Amino acid sequence: MIIDFINNLRRFILGNSDLIYEEASQKILDSAYEVQNTLGTGFLEKVYENALVICLKEKGLQVTQQDPLKIYFKGNIIGDYVTDLIVNKKNNYRS
């Protein structure tokens, strides 16, 4: 599961030369590799999530877990969502 996340993130970072947060993206990728290489496979998702939070914070990133969000569509709340992680939260987005 985490290896799929890492591979998708890696493809996105390496294939995108105009990243807005390139340094943070690289730290996230490095942290994901560190977690995977250290823990290997076989644990539940929450174990990897908690380990990733530790690595990200050690790299100076701000991280929140299980952050509730309101989902908007055309200015109307259409649902609630709970994130796994938010890194360096900047804004509340509405569409």
End-to-end alpha carbon distance in the chain: 30
Q: What is the pLDDT of residues 7-55, one digit of tens each?
A: 666 666 666 556 677 788 889 989 999 999 999 999 999 999 999 999 9
**pLDDT, position 43:** 95
Q: Which helix (H) or strand (E) holds 77?
A: strand 76-82
Condensed to tens digits (0 to 9), the pLDDT of residues 46-83 reads: 999 999 999 999 999 999 999 998 999 999 999 999 99
As given in the structure block, the two tokens for residue 82 are 């709970």
* CA 42/CA 52 separation, integer angstroms: 16
